[in-house]
Structure 1
Amino acid sequence: MKVVTLFVLMLVTVAVAEKDNKKPKKKKDPRDYTDADIYKLEEEWTEDGDIDEGDLPEHQRKAEPIDFSKIDTSDPEGVIKMTKRHKTLMMFATVSGDPSEEETDEITALWQSSLYNANIEITRFVISANRILIKLVDGSYAYEIKDFLVEQDRCESVTIEGQTYHGKASPEYKKESKDSKKSKDQKKSKKSSGKKKNAKKNKDEL
């Protein structure tokens, strides 16, 4: 009798389990998706159809070969342009004065619009009352963006890879601009001097 009872219980359990499996699974609200859910969706989309490599998540794209022999490690701008081409890069910008988050959003939205008109797309996040995070899909544009931002009247600073560059609204900006101009003039003078020496040498040889 005990064996028969046990056998019946097993049949009932199997039947209930099959019934539960046939019930349609409740779809998860997209607003509740975690990073893992989004990653899984990206994987499924990649498997389901042909996707251009440029549209793939960054971790699935083929890494572009980098010729390290052409990289001057003393030139941070050159390093970023070479190593961050077609790669995500985060940079920061600070608005001068004591703005509210709304004011910072309005000011930096104008910056974003100007960059967009110059065919440079960025994603902008206001992370505090006077500071924004800028996300670039192609990090090689970082210094072009920096050059534009530091010339804006309300830009206090721009930070790229831990290096801070003072903006027009910063007291340090004028001093750095003078030093930069002086350095460029010296390089220009050396280049001009070298050309004159070479011209004189060629003349003497003739």
Structure 2
Amino acid sequence: MTDFALSALVWADYRLAVLFTVSLPLLLLIWAFISKMDAIQRLLEIYWKVSSLLAITVFLFIAAIPLGFVTGWLARLLIPISLWFWVDLNEDIHDMLPQRPLKIAFNSWRWGVTVYSVLGSLLSLGFVRCAGFSQDVLLTEDTSCRLWLEPPWGFRDYFMAGQTPDFVGFLGAFGLLIYTAYLVYFLVIRLGRQGRSAIR
């Protein structure tokens, strides 16, 4: 694949990510809150916690930290798992009246973001190797890896122009530390206690 074609694919992927992983779930969360649909609201709250790894990835990419290639790939795996894992929430959503517009919209988005995440994980799997490069190699030698950094750099120029890449990278690394600690807590302690139940 040429660099031009890959660049177009990368930018398309980021645009789809804004739609499927930010805009639509935010609208659905607001709708669920207004409609007092607790199961959907709870599942979307879990989704936002899990998908925050995507935001961490963007911050790591702004600082050209190669670890972002691993976190981005993991986020695409964890998102669908977080949406289908919980037995109690899935049952509550299934038991809702089938013609409820929010239920239809939520399930459509859930299937859409699952397909998007699976396809994205397959696409990005070939670039996990970029995590093994030094920052210098990433910035100067491997153009196919560097192309994945361009949309985050554009995000920084537009929304965080006053911040240095090093500071943004520090925020990303700190966020990843917290995320990892919570994930370990969930896997080691909470999962053993509650299983596939999302009860608080």
- TM bracket (short chain): under 0.3
Instruction: Return the index of the structure with the highest Cα Rg.
Output: 1
TM-score by length of 1: 0.23
The structure with more helix, counted as a fraction of residues: 2
The structure with more strand, counted as a fraction of residues: 1
TM-score by length of 2: 0.24
Higher relative contact order (CA 8 A, sep 6+): 2
